[in-house]
Amino acid sequence: MLNPKLVRNLAAAAALLVAPVGLAQTLTMAQNSNPLTLDPNRTFNGLSFSITNQVYENLVYFGSDGVIQPRLAESWEFVEDNVLELQIREGVTFHDGTALDADAVVASLEHFLDPEATNPGLFVLSRIDDVRATGEYTVQIETETPFAPLLAHLAHPVAAIVQAGLGESLERNPVGTGPFRFVSWEQDAQIVLEANPDYWGGEPAIQRVVTRIIPDVATILVELRSGGVDAYYGIPADSFDSIANAPGLSAVSFLGWGSNYVGFNLESEKLQDVRVRQAIAHVIDKELIGDIVNGLPAVAAIPPTVAYAAEDLDEPYPYDPERATELLAEAGVSGLSLRIDVYTDPTLETIAQILQAELAGIGIDLEIRTQPYAAYAEAVLEDDLELYVSGWGTVTLDADYALYGFLHPSEIGGGSNNSRYVDDSVTELLETGRNNPDPEARADAYLAVQEQILLDVPFVTVNFPLSTFAKTEALQGENVNFSVIGFDLRDATLNR
Amino acid sequence: MLRYVSGRLLGLLPVLLGVTILVFLMLRIAPGDPLIALLGEEAQGLSRAALEALRVQYGFDRDPVTQYLSFLGGVVRLDLGESVRTGQPVLREIAVRLPATLQLAGAGLGIALVIGLSLGVLAAVYRRTLIDYIAVVVALAGVSIPVFWSGLILMLYFSLELGWLPASGYGTWRHLVLPAAAIGFSSSAIIARVTRSSMIEVLRSDYIRTARAKGVGERRVNLRHGLRNAMLPVITVIGLQFGGLLGGAVLTETVFAWPGLGRLVVDSIRAQDGPLVQGTVLFIAVVFILINLLVDLSYALLNPRIRYG
């Protein structure tokens, strides 16, 4: 039944994977599921980016201070309002030996924008009109209209530069310029990368990065302690302390780019009176919820890790059931019964349940409808939507991505503006923020937007979830940049 | 015999057709837009135009009957299509997981047989003694304790506490021990119970008394005359268990991060990856039916009175 040759080969392959290159310099990571593809231009999923970010590089990236830094592009400037010119780094080669030059960058961006391809992340760069090489190492990117967040979008993992000449084979055999190059991928078992000796920034000290696919978090926790896994992003809140206290392990939590929010359908008759929405905001106990789901209480719509987030806003709706009752009385509302839509997610379900209990205290009956994400995504488009609770990641780390999506009228009905928020002055400010390359003008516009929506309450940002990362203490010098998809191992060492 | 086998194989066709229709319908009944299910939460950043473009690219815009017929046409040509999510051929996705599944099913069944048959025979021979009661309790524990608990306990003890074996993963025989033990223990229970009751029945037969009267040794009576004749129902159960294991032991594979078929099936269902769900379920159905056929044929080997004409 078992083919002996196959078994021998498998055993040999396994022995090779475990044995030769100094085990000490092999970093073993874990994630819950396979990536779908290893071509970053063909996915929009963290399970892929966690691998592709080691193999490929972007033109620019976000430093840990949130400022755009050079990577494959050494410098850049807007030569016209809608034309960005970048100088490509010289002396960089892809893992297959081909050189990176302006033509290769253009080919990669065209590979990304290929209208024939399935690219769920297309929207990140879809405003690009034309990409052209104007010198051996000079590239110009032209957008239809001025698009201020362009650099932030170029820093997103989806926009990584690939060896486009390899086409579809990149999905299984990724070839980039990054510090690690691809070795093997066994479905549901592991993905192996090795240090790129020719990396332009110097060969990394860690020689091998093995990412094991382990679906069960309980197993990962055992493996962290037994040494079968060295690092893992996203430990559950209730295991954080036990991992942090385990000998040889450390655990950190940090602010990511996410936010959790409760939204209102402004077209729902029950929710049209702003006082009703304010009353509900007053019973959302952000401190309590933050303690339970491991998040920082939020006021602004986007976390301070995101460029142009307003950081010093006062909470206009502190937890105050009495004030909430007054507001409902002023609005002449009593015996209200509402429904909140949520998708299956422990954090979001918890928020809905706490809200349900608090609303009962001020005489509002809240029904929770929990569905798988696909069904939820349809429900929020229905006219009978009332409340919804959702998570959001401002993955470009630029306010435009969140605020334009949440608040611009063009995003109603299938976009991200599920609150159906329309306000002409806000619309104008959002367009200024998107089109005006001047950072100060953008900052002013986004501050005004964030202040205005605190008055209008199309949604209440409940908290900014804390990301967690556990690792062996032997691992030093790694940079968990906002999330595992920005994980940087170039200067990391394993001291064991 | 040959006619019987080919008849049974032909009988497969309507069953498989039924399986494909059922699976196809179930995928349609699942709530929500299959495209959104496929993309997951990442879909929330996509504009409606982008979603519609993706719908066409993934082929979700075609009507269900066309989708089904093109799937069926592929099956006839032994082409199960491509996974929507990964773009890989479904047959390939199955093939890369087959070695792991075979190893776990084989080792698990081996352990289940050793434990199950010994417990069953002991319990029958020493019926209504302490040995019987202990065997029954052990068997009951095997059925009752879920693998996600027993597996974790095995891991905590043998990996974390003693450091003898890797906690999870795939590659060497050392990785195989814990998952095979976990799955073997839980599958042994039903084998033990069927062996026990079948043995008790056989040991009451006249020919057993005759054998004893002839002076045949107790060990030979129990194993050669008793167990061999008690095996028919046991073989049926073993076949069912093996078929189940080959279809993927979802929980065991999940707990021990074992890259087998079970996880493939569950992942594909979660993502509503139509071709992959259809292909894997169809594959498992074929394996299950073939194993049952083998079980039926093995009856003739064990009991020469059974003939397939």
Convert the pLDDT of each residue in A114-163 to its tens digit: 887 777 778 788 889 999 999 999 999 999 889 989 999 999 999 999 99
Mean of pLDDT values over A370-375? 82
Please report which confidence band the pLDDT of residue A15 belongs to, taking 50, 70 and 90 as the band edges: very low
> Which of B85, B167, B267 has its CB closest to that of A222?
B167
> Which of B31, B46, B169 has its CB closest to that of A212?
B169
For testing contact with chain B, the best of A38, A42, A373 (most B CBs within 10 A): A373
Distance, CA of A440 to CA of B210 (rounded, Å): 102
Delineate the domains of chain B, giving CATH numbers in brackets: 2-76 (no CATH), 98-270 (1.10.3720.10)
Name which of A109-113, A490-494, B136-140 the model is least confident about.
B136-140
Name the residue in chain A with its Cα closest to that of B96.
A187
Tokens at residue A297, please? Answer: 């209480």
Distance, CA of A493 to CA of A471 (rounded, Å): 12
Q: Using the beta-carbon criterion (under 8 Å), do B43 and A401 form an inter-chain contact?
A: no
Domain definitions of chain A by residue range: 24-35+172-255+467-494, 58-164, 258-466
CATH code for the part of the protein at A24-35+172-255+467-494? 3.40.190.10
Q: Which residues 90-109 of B have a C-beta within 8 angstroms of A?
A: 93, 96-97, 99-100, 102-103, 106
Please report which confidence band the pLDDT of residue A17 belongs to, taking 50, 70 and 90 as the band edges: very low
Whether chain B has a CB inside 8 Å of the CB on A357: the answer is no
End-to-end Cα distance, chain B: 5
Mean of pLDDT values over A80-96? 95
How far does CA B85 lie from the centroid of its chain?
25
Distance, CA of A372 to CA of B108 (rounded, Å): 34
Whether chain A has a CB inside 8 Å of the CB on B152: the answer is yes
- At the top level of CATH, the class of A258-466 is alpha beta
Residue appearing with tokens 């057993």? B208
Taking only the tens of pLDDT, chain B with its 309 residues reads 778 778 878 887 888 888 888 887 877 777 667 777 777 666 655 666 667 777 777 777 777 788 788 778 888 888 888 887 777 889 999 999 999 999 999 999 999 999 999 999 889 888 888 999 998 898 888 888 888 888 899 999 998 888 899 988 898 899 999 999 999 988 888 899 899 989 888 888 888 888 888 888 888 888 778 888 888 888 888 988 888 888 768 888 989 999 999 889 888 887 778 788 888 888 888 888 888 888 888 887 777 777 765
Given CA atoms B235, B236, B241, B243 in this order, what sign does their dihedral have? positive
Alpha carbon of A204: minimum distance to chain B alpha carbons (Å): 27
Closest by alpha carbon to B180, among B239, B116, B110, B114? B110
Q: Which residues 394-433 of A have a C-beta within 8 angstroms of B?
A: 395, 401, 405, 411, 413-416
A145 burial (CB, 10 Å; 0-12 / 13-18 / 19+) is exposed
| Alpha carbon distances (Å) from A6 to A2, B95, B96, B103, B175 | 8, 12, 11, 12, 17
> Which of A168, A222, A405 has its CB closest to that of B155?
A222
Q: Using an 8 Å Cβ cutoff, are B132 and B121 in contact? A: no
Q: Using the beta-carbon criterion (under 8 Å), do A214 and B168 form an inter-chain contact?
A: yes
Single-letter code of the amino acid located at B146: P
Residues 6+ apart with CB under 8 A from B286: B12, B16
Tokens at residue B79, please? Answer: 């082409």
Long-range contacts of A376-381 (CB under 8 A, 24+ apart): A376/A341, A376/A342, A376/A343, A376/B32, A377/A343, A377/B32, A377/B33, A377/B36, A377/B43, A377/B44, A378/B32, A378/B33, A378/B36, A379/A341, A380/A341, A380/A418, A381/A413, A381/A414, A381/A418
> Which of B36, B85, B102 has its CB closest to that of A373?
B36
Q: Which residues 202-241 of B have a C-beta within 8 angstroms of A?
A: none
> Which of B58, B96, B172 has its CB closest to that of A118?
B58
Q: Using the beta-carbon criterion (under 8 Å), do B33 and A374 form an inter-chain contact?
A: yes
What fold, for A58-164? Answer: Dipeptide-binding Protein; domain 1 (3.90.76)
DSSP codes of every residue in A201-232: T---S--EEEEEE---HHHHHHHHHHTS-SEE
Contacts of B257 in chain A (CB under 8 A): 188-189, 212-216, 219
Whether the domain at A24-35+172-255+467-494 and the domain at A258-466 fall into the same CATH topology: no
Contacts of A118 in chain B (CB under 8 A): 54, 57-58
